[in-house]
């Protein structure tokens, strides 16, 4: 086969620094499993600046023990990106991102059961002229499906190392590491002829990109092909605008083709598929037609009009039951440990401000938040399991019927489900939604899903709402479900409203692959859980610790003259003054200045409300440290002697927390995601405004009805 002019046969220069491999592949081809198998716990999860796409970097070792960096890039079907995470893959591979060095070598992973489609991306990547190792994963599943792959032939045709692999079972990893350890890798010998109608344009664009945009010739050719594959040249160009001359050339060719009736983009795709088709015919042998697979049989039930809903309902019920029941014991344990630590400090230290800061501020504040770790772990365990088995895509498929009624598509389901744990990963998960308006609507409504940070507030309010120590579990659960339902319906309602007003758009064109069912790989699920737990603990150790200390300071200073009661001290502290200032606004909702302190402090993070109430009301609890917070709250009164935490107030407060935007981290993520303050500010106002109005209606109507 003749070599194209852009490819040299010489071995690439062995990089002096630690070699960097980029791992790329289609979604659902086992990329994450391979990444985990290669790097184990040696992973670093960060963010690409400017977008909330996760940047996963790990280290693996060559056969000689030399470290090799592996960047796990988001899965994509094509380099012509349609969503922000796909754009990251494209930009890293093209060396456009200043924050990530262009990878030296590329590890392309393909699904053996669907080689033809997976080779499309490989085909585009070969144009980049970098050394590539091709990993053909899921060889076992291909064999089960009656497919025989002649990989030696594929290796010969492409001229690059092809490794058969079963990442789930760890098979093929040694061969892969051996290939990765090679100091030199050949460049692909696979050439394809750009269709005659398009070739002159590619050459002209390549020349302009080289001379005017200062791209290296190989990258320039790949960019030229991309500019012609994607209908929207500006999107392809990304953040660095193209030189006007290049744009001019592109536009003149497009005009010419439009006049001739040439579908250039379609022609390019078809021509790549033609080349891949020849390759596939030589490589893939099908032995008879296999009957319905196990996945097909499971899908017959799971995606059924009726059974599908029942299965989804069952899974969701199991998820929430587990969160509430299984987490109880470890949560109580963490609570006890925090209390024991606090008691120990009280005995070990002399009375004073520092002791108060450590016990009430640090241990009370951070402990009150860290105890939610078990629930967060359970939620991520389920999300990890659902994604790992392939069920998550089915859930999105079933939910699409419902979501399409409010103008969203099934892809918004995963972000919204994740938001039950925390809106931040939920908002980050919106990066897979291609349509910018749908993505924005999902971001705007995601924080309405009751996240785990609201749980402590609900639990505290339910404890205060339902009197008596032995409350039937059913009552608690019903109130809890009511709050979750309120948030969920709120999210759907606002999505419907936004899609009809602010962010009007065509019905979503969703296309989503449903991967075959697989047995979950617990190692991957566990890694995912550890990663999330660490992010949560880091937040508790930094943001929440800081807030707890600041809050303690605000409620302890300025010092009142000696001899006044703790309540008088609090009333004249900075926090008390802020609460008092807020009282006229929140009094119609049934809240006093002490709750006002909680609302202000929990603007940073909702769960801080509980620790604040701890600080606020323990201050009133005189010497009796063992009085549970609930009891202290029930004893709290308005100045005229009425109870503060009446059932109606508790209800109003819960409704406030369902809707109000009380999370600085979410605001920060939305700001980063939407590239400006406009949307996070709008979101804060619409959510907190709705919260105020609904709490007002509930409290005033309740009062009028005599509650």
Partner 1 sequence: MSRPPFDSRIPLCQLAAGATGRVCALTGDAHFCQRVREMGFGESAYVTKVSGSTTILCQVNGTRIALSHAAASSILVEQLGNLGPQKG
Out of 77, 372, 458, 591, name the contact with partner 1 by CB under 8 A. 77
Rounded-to-integer distance, Cα 371 and Cα 610, Å: 12
Least separation in angstroms between CB 285 and partner 1: 12
Out of 192, 273, 557, 692, name the contact with partner 1 by CB under 8 A. 273
Rounded-to-integer distance, Cα 318 and Cα 438, Å: 29
Is-cis flag, bond preceding 612, omega within 30?
A: no
Q: Indicate whether 282 belongs to the interface with partner 1 (CB under 8 A).
A: no
Least separation in angstroms between CB 288 and partner 1: 11
Long-range contacts, 270-275 (Cβ 8 Å, 24+):
271/192, 271/193, 271/194, 271/195, 271/198, 272/120, 272/123, 272/124, 272/192, 273/116, 273/120, 275/123, 275/192, 275/193
Q: Indicate whether 293 belongs to the interface with partner 1 (CB under 8 A).
A: yes
Q: Indicate whether 387 belongs to the interface with partner 1 (CB under 8 A).
A: no
Angle at 360 between CA 357 and CA 365, to 5 degrees: 105
Q: Where are the beta strands (DSSP E) in 225-352?
A: 284-286
Least separation in angstroms between CB 490 and partner 1: 24
Rounded-to-integer distance, Cα 384 and Cα 610, Å: 29
Q: Which is nearer to partner 1, 105 or 123 (CB)?
A: 123
Residues 506-535 as x/- pattern, contact with partner 1 by CB under 8 A: xxxxxxxxxxx-------------------
Answer yes or no: are the C-beta atoms of 604 and 548 closer than 8 Å.
Answer: no
Least separation in angstroms between CB 400 and partner 1: 4
Q: Indicate whether 30 belongs to the interface with partner 1 (CB under 8 A).
A: no
Q: Indicate whether 584 belongs to the interface with partner 1 (CB under 8 A).
A: no
Q: Indicate whether 409 belongs to the interface with partner 1 (CB under 8 A).
A: yes
Task: Give 552: exposed, middle or buried? Use CB within 10 Å, 0-12, 13-18, 19+.
Answer: buried
- DSSP-derived secondary structure for 608-665: HHHHHHHHHHHTTSTT-TTS-HHHHHHH-B-TTS-BSS-HHHHHHHHHHHHHS---HH
Answer yes or no: are the C-beta atoms of 62 and 180 closer than 8 Å.
Answer: yes
Residues 6+ apart with CB under 8 A from 235: 81, 87
Least separation in angstroms between CB 447 and partner 1: 25
Least separation in angstroms between CB 305 and partner 1: 8
Q: Indicate whether 145 belongs to the interface with partner 1 (CB under 8 A).
A: yes
Q: Indicate whether 393 belongs to the interface with partner 1 (CB under 8 A).
A: yes
Q: Quick one: which segment of 54-62, 75-83, 168-176, 611-619 binds partner 1 (CB under 8 A)?
A: 75-83
**Per-residue tokens: 88:** 């990251």
Residues 601-640 as x/- pattern, contact with partner 1 by CB under 8 A: ----------------------------------------
Q: Which of residues 78-107 bind partner 1 (CB under 8 A)?
A: 78, 80, 82
Residues 303-332 as x/- pattern, contact with partner 1 by CB under 8 A: xxx---------------------------
Q: Indicate whether 117 belongs to the interface with partner 1 (CB under 8 A).
A: yes
Q: Which is nearer to partner 1, 270 or 693 (CB)?
A: 270
Q: Quick one: which segment of 290-298, 449-457, 631-639, 690-698 binds partner 1 (CB under 8 A)?
A: 290-298
Rounded-to-integer distance, Cα 66 and Cα 608, Å: 46
Give the three-class secondary structure for 544.
helix
Answer yes or no: are the C-beta atoms of 24 and 89 closer than 8 Å.
Answer: yes
Q: Indicate whether 184 belongs to the interface with partner 1 (CB under 8 A).
A: no
Q: Indicate whether 144 belongs to the interface with partner 1 (CB under 8 A).
A: no
Rounded-to-integer distance, Cα 130 and Cα 20, Å: 12
Out of 397, 494, 645, 699, name the contact with partner 1 by CB under 8 A. 397
Answer yes or no: are the C-beta atoms of 430 and 388 closer than 8 Å.
Answer: no
Least separation in angstroms between CB 230 and partner 1: 7
Answer yes or no: are the C-beta atoms of 249 and 204 closer than 8 Å.
Answer: yes
Q: Which is nearer to partner 1, 471 or 512 (CB)?
A: 512
Least separation in angstroms between CB 272 and partner 1: 9
Residues 227-266 as x/- pattern, contact with partner 1 by CB under 8 A: --xxxx--------------------------------xx
Spatial CA neighbour of 483 closest among 436, 420, 526: 420
Number of residues that bind partner 1 (CB under 8 A): 48
Q: Which of residues 419-478 bind partner 1 (CB under 8 A)?
A: 434
Least separation in angstroms between CB 111 and partner 1: 9
- Look up residue 379 and give its DSSP letter: H
Binding site for partner 1 (CB under 8 A): 77-78, 80, 82, 113-114, 116-117, 120, 145, 229-232, 265-266, 269-270, 273, 286, 289-290, 293, 295, 299, 303-305, 393, 396-397, 400-401, 404, 409-410, 434, 506-516
């Amino acid at each position: 086969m003749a070599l194209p002019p852009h490819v040299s046969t010489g071995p690439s220069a062995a990089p002096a620094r630690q070699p960097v491999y980029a791992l790329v592949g289609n979604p659902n081809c086992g990329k994450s499993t391979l990444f985990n198998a290669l790097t184990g716990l040696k992973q670093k999860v960060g963010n690409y600046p400017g977008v909330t796409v996760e940047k996963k970097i790990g280290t693996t070792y060559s056969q000689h023990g030399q470290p090799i960096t592996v960047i796990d890039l988001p899965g994509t079907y094509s380099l012509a990106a349609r969503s922000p995470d796909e754009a990251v893959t494209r930009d890293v591979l093209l060396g456009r991102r200043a924050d990530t060095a262009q990878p030296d070598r590329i590890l392309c992973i393909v699904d053996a059961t669907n080689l033809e489609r997976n080779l499309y991306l490989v085909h585009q990547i070969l144009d980049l002229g970098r050394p590539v190792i091709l990993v053909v994963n899921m060889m076992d599943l291909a064999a089960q499906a009656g497919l025989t792959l002649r990989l030696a032939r594929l290796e010969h045709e492409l001229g690059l190392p092809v490794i058969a692999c079963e990442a789930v079972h760890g098979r093929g990893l040694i061969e892969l590491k051996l290939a990765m350890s090679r100091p030199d890798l050949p460049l692909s010998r696979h050439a394809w002829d750009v269709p005659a109608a398009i070739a002159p344009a590619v050459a002209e664009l390549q020349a302009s990109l080289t001379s005017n945009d200062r791209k290296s010739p190989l990258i320039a050719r790949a960019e030229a092909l991309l500019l012609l594959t994607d209908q929207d040249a500006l999107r392809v160009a990304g953040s660095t605008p193209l030189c006007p001359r290049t744009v001019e050339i592109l536009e003149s060719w497009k005009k010419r083709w439009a006049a001739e009736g040439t579908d250039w983009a379609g022609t390019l795709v078809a021509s790549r598929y033609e080349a891949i088709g020849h390759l596939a015919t030589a490589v893939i042998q099908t032995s008879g037609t296999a009957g319905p697979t196990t996945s097909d049989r499971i899908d017959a039930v799971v995606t059924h009009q009726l059974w599908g809903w029942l299965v989804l309902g069952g899974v969701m019920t199991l998820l929430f039951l587990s969160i509430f029941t299984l987490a109880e014991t470890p949560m109580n344990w963490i609570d006890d440990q925090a209390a024991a630590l606090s008691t120990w400090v009280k005995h070990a230290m002399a009375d004073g401000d520092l002791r108060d800061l450590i016990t009430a501020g640090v241990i009370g504040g951070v402990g009150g938040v860290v105890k939610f770790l078990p629930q967060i772990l359970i939620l991520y365990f389920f999300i990890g399991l659902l994604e790992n088995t392939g069920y998550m895509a089915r859930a999105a498929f079933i939910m699409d019927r419902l979501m399409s009624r409010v103008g969203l598509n099934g892809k918004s389901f995963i972000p919204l489900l994740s938001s039950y744990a925390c809106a931040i990963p939920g908002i980050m998960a919106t990066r897979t939604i291609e349509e910018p308006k749908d993505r924005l609507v999902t971001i705007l409504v995601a924080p309405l899903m009751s996240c785990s940070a609201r749980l402590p507030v609900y639990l505290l309010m339910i404890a205060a709402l339902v009197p008596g120590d032995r409350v039937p579990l059913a009552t608690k659960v019903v109130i809890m479900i009511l709050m979750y339902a309120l948030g969920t319906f709120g999210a759907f309602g606002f999505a419907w409203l936004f899609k009809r007003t602010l962010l009007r758009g065509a019905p979503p064109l969703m296309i989503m692959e449903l991967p075959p069912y697989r047995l979950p790989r617990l190692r991957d699920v566990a890694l995912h859980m550890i990663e999330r737990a660490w992010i949560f603990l880091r937040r508790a150790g930094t943001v929440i610790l800081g807030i707890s200390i600041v809050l303690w300071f605000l409620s302890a200073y300025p010092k009142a003259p000696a001899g006044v009661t703790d309540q008088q001290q609090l009333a004249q502290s900075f926090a008390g003054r802020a609460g008092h200032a807020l009282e006229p606004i929140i009094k119609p909702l049934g809240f006093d200045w002490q709750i006002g302190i909680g609302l202000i402090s929990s603007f940073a993070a909702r769960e801080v409300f509980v620790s604040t109430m701890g600080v606020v009301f323990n201050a009133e609890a005189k010497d009796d440290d063992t009085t549970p917070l609930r009891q202290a709250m029930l004893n709290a009164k308005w100045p005229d002697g009425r109870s503060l935490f009446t059932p109606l107030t508790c209800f109003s407060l819960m409704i406030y927390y369902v809707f109000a935007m009380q999370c600085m981290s979410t605001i920060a993520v939305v700001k980063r995601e939407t590239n400006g303050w406009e949307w996070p500010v709008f979101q804060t106002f619409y959510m907190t405004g709705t919260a105020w109005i609904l709490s007002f209606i509930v409290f005033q109507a309740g009062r009028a009805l005599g509650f």
